[in-house]
Structure 1
Amino acid sequence: CGWAMAIGHFSVWDYVVFGAMLLISAVIGVYYAFAGGGQQTSKDFLMGGRSMSALPVALSLTASFMSAVTVLGTPAEIYRFGAIFCIFAITYLLVVVISAEVFLPVFYRLGITSTYEYLELRFNKYLRLCGTILFIIQTILYTGIVIYAPALALNQVTGFDLWGAVVATGVVCTFYCTLGGLKAVVWTDVFQVGIMVAGFSSVIIRAVVVQGGIGRILNDSYHGGRLNFWDFNPNPLQRHTFWTIVIGGTFTWTGIYGVNQSQVQRYIACKTRFQAKLSLYINLVGLWAILVCAMFCGLAMYSIYRDCDPWTAKHVSAPDQLMPYLVLDILRDFPGVPGLFVASAYSGTLSTVSSSINALAAVTVEDLIKPYFSSLSEKKLSWISKGTSLFYGGICIAMAALASLMGGLLQAALSIFGMVGGPLLGLFTLGILSPFANPIGAFVGLIGGFTVSLWVGIGAQIYPPLPERTMPLNLSTMGCNTGSNWTATTVMPTLTTVIHLQAAERPVLVDYWYSLSYLYFSTLGTLVTIVLGMIVSLLTGGMKQNISRRFLLTKEDFMSNFSFSKPQTNKKVEVLNWKPFTMADEGTDNPVFNHMEMNITENKKDSGAHI
């Protein structure tokens, strides 16, 4: 461990590998800027002309999930807290089924570009505006974290300027997003997911060789308490248990896969609903594969450093630097391979940030520009879409500075999604599953859910949970040759002393409210929004309103369109089925039926009367 600080500079081959990844990503963007006549309309730019197929979209969804936050944060999480994180495999299954069978059928049937169009169709334009603004805030904050993470890895590995790396990430993403639109985003993701898997695989293979086999890694992990898969403690204050991961994680990730524009925009760009659903289920296999890779990296890291923790020994300054430190340690004699790992972290960033920029452009054009400037031509909207991509690229680079002030990357990222994504998930759930939910109830529910989740989320940032809640496992420095006495102990006795000192100074509310597991932030926001929204709707005449069935989940939607033989037939029946429900409801609740009418009658102007 003592000599590992001396390693840390890219060879020429490392730069070649890294540069090739960036160059190919940029070339894909240039290609789709001109392929097929270029991005002629905003639909081409934002939705790929709704002509995508399942496999590239599935790989794109997987690539976005496997951001640098995953590459750096998840192995460090398993190294410090153990393999209980792998219970997320159950969570991912539940999330994909809910997204594919509850939310996707409704969004795909309506033919919308922005998911927040649904809020105006179902409720009113004010809720659509609320949803759009919350999404923009959430995405910019999260993207700041995702840009900062690989810059941290690059800085640790090569000494490359941290903020130079931040700017480079944003510039490359913005370049190919602005040129190629959604098709460039999807196909660069397909390329980048290959780079990411190669980066993970190189670390795992080398670690197995260094440690003399998988058996030793698993044996060390078992004796070090890292194979702690099952913890059924129902205490919601404990950071990770079976229940917090399965329940809280399902709410958190459904907010991402089910209703978040960045993910939804890609799978509803598929050419049929069958392809859209298939993309989600193929993506599930990718999520499981990534989780297994991250788990083995974390366990291998523990096996290698079980007697000399680099973090406690001050060889790295943050847990998120452990993964690049490991790469330098075990792969320093293989020119080009450290570059491959950093390219994989960087690829994760490019894929996530590019999808975020494209989604931000989509909601801005669809929700903030088109409704108020109806005279704009498709050509102008296409240029405006590109301009907003450029604008948001700059904003996301600036927001990376905020990420540098936050704690652990993985928890910070999921906390942001929980605080903002939970209330939004509750709002969409109200609209799709509750026929009597009305605009007043939905608005009050949203405000209530957002207030509660923001309260507990910000409180948790100000008063971090004590180690007795987060339960970090022992990290030893017994084997370090640093010459100082304090390194010859484990971390836990020091932490125990800190617990007693801090607990006496903290208010009681802090340790029973702000110490709630970060995975429950989303659950809390969702449930408060739904319960409050339903109560207020019932009290304000929600049972008396007429709501078209096309805005609700029906029994025909669930597990539908899973026939290889006739996907197109189902789609046509769906469109024809809209008409009987529009006649009675049109003009009573929602002033934006003109959007739907355009899809059915191709007579946009005649159906745009407002009440």
Structure 2
Amino acid sequence: MSPAILLTFLVVYFALLLSVAYFTSKKSADNSTFFVANRNAKWYMVAFGMIGTALSGVTFISVPGAVGVSNFSYFQFVIGNAIGFIVIAYVLLPLYYRMNLTSIYTYLEERLGHKSYKTGAMIFLISRTIGSAFRLYLVGIILQRYIFDAWNVPFAVTIIICLVLIWLYTNKGGLKTIIITDTLQTFFLVLAVVLSIYFMADGLGLSVLGAFEAVKESSYSTIFVWEDFLGSKNHFWKHIIGGAFVTIAMTGLDQDLMQKNLSMKTIGEAQKNMLTFTGIFIVINLFFLSVGALLYIYAAKNNIDVSALLTPDYLYPEIALNYLTILPGIIFMMGLTAATFATTDSALTALTTSYCVDFLNFNKKENPNDPALVRVRNYVHLAFSFLILIVILAFRVLNDDSVVNAIFTAASYTYGPLLGLFSFGILTKYRVNDNLVPYICLASPILIYLLNHFVVQPYTSYNVGFELIIYNGLLTFIMLLITSPGKQVNPERLPTEQAY
């Protein structure tokens, strides 16, 4: 497909997003609007828009591409995700609403101490910056290969263009704008995956029902892996347990997705949002796995050498842009762009919110909406855009793995201490040695990494999968317990319904 056609589509797409940003921020663009959308968001819009944020371009590209190696076993992980979302809805959200939080990490200050609070917030900033960079990197390499390489545009310039466009439509309205744009982008994402199934079926000479039947009858549709618990990363229990804890950490302890939940008026609306989101999330992932199976069936039928691709992440764009007609190619680019930018714009807003509240103490200012503070927020927003650019360029040099694996591996190390901190606060009534918390949260992932790479891998048959985050969080929890002064916290200081 002509790069000029794809570029024209992107220009029109971003013009639409900028129009939405203009109308949502022209009346009010203060910090309350940016951080929590004035706590007036509609739960059904947030639920639908969160799909685009949670899935991202990783799901759009890497999940279908991985079907060739792991079949539908990823769906076990999705089931674990669903369990994690339910825990978030009925354990974490009530806690956050009782405390009326803007940044969820202020819980740590109330429960554990000042240094614990700053440590938790810093872990989020590092984790979300890395994760967002990985996700934007994915769409960047696709845009580079299929559009900008035609004009010899450097990869760094491609990423800069993406980040500038995202900054332009998020820097004023923040969360209020993103709730609208993410709803729009999720619609495009869902439409793209449904139409992709239709076009793939048509390319195979099948009806849509016939395509699903072909997927069902293929070897790719195998979901459950029960054999070789030690050696297989895809074993059922590893995916279920790992999926649940990854979700609790990467969603429930992550300012990005929780910020959207905190934008609603009541806890009941927030819980309806999470449960509705969970149902849609499961169905959409099944659709993406089906797209992956159809891609491999199509490649086999048309003698496409999948092994010649640099990474399985290229399979979907290769077929959509080079083997199907113009319309399927545009639909693919629409879905990929919507998925990736829905994630990145949300992450930039959450990173800005966390830094302004957790480190610049906007919530403690006499007038948080002071124009001077709004200007500071804009500078912070720009700084995080630049930081994401730096991480992407570094990842461009170092990455040799599928992006989906890279993201969850990184998350297991960075979010593990956050999981340990919140678990200690919620499950025990003991104090922590607040001065040691930063060192414990740094030591835990380092020790887990060394143990895995120099003991478990060389000397055992155990292959660590997504459950790595559990070991990391558990080690953090144990070290917090061992170093605890052993004194119970006064009940009045515990974040309970009675206390708040």
TM-score for both structures, normalised by structure 1: 0.75
The question of whether the paired residues in 2 share the 8 Å contact of 1:262 and 1:356 is answered with yes
1:340 to 322, 331, 346: 331
Superposed, which structure 2 residues align to 1:115-514 within 5 Å?
A: 115-158=104-147, 159=149, 161=153, 162-213=155-206, 225-233=219-227, 235-306=229-300, 308=303, 310-312=305-307, 314=308, 316-332=309-325, 335-370=326-361, 374=365, 378-379=369-370, 380-404=372-396, 405-406=398-399, 407-435=401-429, 437-440=430-433, 447-448=439-440, 450-457=442-449, 509-512=456-459
In structure 2, C-alpha distance between the alignment counterparts of 1:377 and 1:549, rounded to whole Å: 26
Task: Flag the 1:245–1:377 CA change in 2: closer, same or farther, 3 A.
Answer: closer
Q: 1:226 to 1:396 in 2, by over 3 A?
A: same
Tell me how far 1:216 sits from its aligned partner: 6.5
Report what 1:541 is aligned to. Answer: 486
Q: Secondary structure at the match of 1:244?
A: helix
Q: CA deviation at 1:254?
A: 1.0
1:66 is paired with a residue whose SS is helix
Task: Choose which of 80, 100, 103 in structure 1 pairs with 2:92.
Answer: 103
Q: Whole-Å Cα distance in 2 between the matches of residues 135 and 423 of structure 1?
A: 10
Match of 1:29 in 2: 21
Distance in 2, Cα, partners of 1:280 & 1:322: 32
Q: Residues 553-603 of structure 1: CA distance to partner in whole angstroms, max 9, x if unpaired? A: xxxxxxxxxxxxxxxxxxxxx6xx546xxxxxxxxxxxxxxxxxxxxxxxx
Q: Deviations over 1:117-151 (max 9, x none)?
A: 11111111111111111111111111111111111
The structural deviation recorded for 1:283 is 0.8
* Whole-Å separation in 1 of the counterparts to 2:99 and 2:216: 51
In 1: Cα distance, 2:157 partner to 2:198 partner: 31
* Matched AA of 1:304: Y
Give the 3 Å change call, closer, same or farther, for CA 455–228 of structure 1 in structure 2: farther
Distance in 2 of aligned mates of 1:448 and 1:236: 28
Q: Distance in 2 between matches of 1:220 and 1:89?
A: 22
Q: Does the CA-based 8 Å contact 2:432-2:481 persist in structure 1?
A: no
Per the alignment, residue 526 of structure 1 pairs with 473
Report the CA distance shift for 1:65/1:155 in structure 2 as closer, same or farther (over 3 A): same
- Structure 1 residue 306, shift from structure 2 partner: 2.9
Post-superposition shift, 1:73? 0.6
Amino acid at match of 2:281: L
Query: In terms of Rg, which structure is larger?
Result: 1
Q: Which amino acid in structure 2 is aligned with residue 519 of structure 1?
A: F
Q: CA deviation at 1:550?
A: 5.4
Q: 1:371 to 1:66 in 2, by over 3 A?
A: closer
Q: 1:458 to 1:191 in 2, by over 3 A?
A: farther
> 3-state SS of the aligned residue for 1:83?
coil
> What is the Cα deviation at residue 105 of structure 1?
0.5
The answer to whether the 8 A contact 1:445-1:531 is kept is: no
Quote the offset at 1:535 in angstroms.
4.1
Shift of 1:22: 1.2
Which is bigger in relative contact order (C-alpha 8 A, separation at least 6)? 2
Alignment match, 1:499: none
- Tell me the CA shift for residue 376 of structure 1: 6.5
Deviations 1:447-475 (A, max 9, x none): 55653434445887xx7xxxxxxxxxxxx
State the secondary structure of the residue aligned to 1:331.
Answer: coil
Matched residue, 1:586: none
SS in 2 for 1:172: helix
Q: Is the 8 A contact 1:106 1:550 kept in 2?
A: no
Residues 81 and 309 of structure 1: CA distance in aligned 2, closer, same or farther (over 3 Å) = farther
Deviating runs (4+, > 4 A) in structure 1? 214-224, 371-377, 442-450, 455-460, 512-515
1:39 aligns to 2:33 (yes or no): no
Specify whether residues 421 and 509 from structure 1 end up closer, same or farther in structure 2 by C-alpha distance, changes over 3 A only. Answer: closer
**Aligned-pair distance for 1:416?**
1.5
Distance 2:462 2:318 in 1: 31
Match of 1:517 in 2: 464
Query: Does structure 2 conserve the Cα–Cα contact (< 8 Å) formed by 1:108 and 1:273?
Result: yes
- TM-score, structure 2 as length reference: 0.90
What is the DSSP-based 3-state SS (H/G/I as helix, E as strand, rest coil) of the residue aligned with 2:44?
helix
Aligned to 2:495: 551
Check the 8 A contact 2:432/2:483 in 1, yes or no: no
| SS, match of residue 17 in structure 2 | helix
Change (3 A) 1:94 1:377: closer
Residues in 2 aligned to 1:19 and 1:550: alpha-carbon distance in whole angstroms? 51
Distance 1:449 1:117, change over 3 A: closer
Change (3 A) 1:455 1:387: same
| Secondary structure of the structure 1 residue equivalent to 2:306 | coil
Residue pair 1:62, 1:286 contacting (<8 A) in 2 also: yes
- The AA in structure 1 aligned to 2:254 is N
* Cα deviations by residue, 1:238-281 (Å, 9 ceiling, x for unpaired): 21111111011111111012111111111011111111111111
Opposite residue 541 of structure 1, the aligned amino acid is: G
Structure 1 counterpart SS, 2:415: helix
Residues 352 and 236 of structure 1: is their aligned pair in 2 closer, same or farther, counting only changes over 3 Å?
Answer: farther
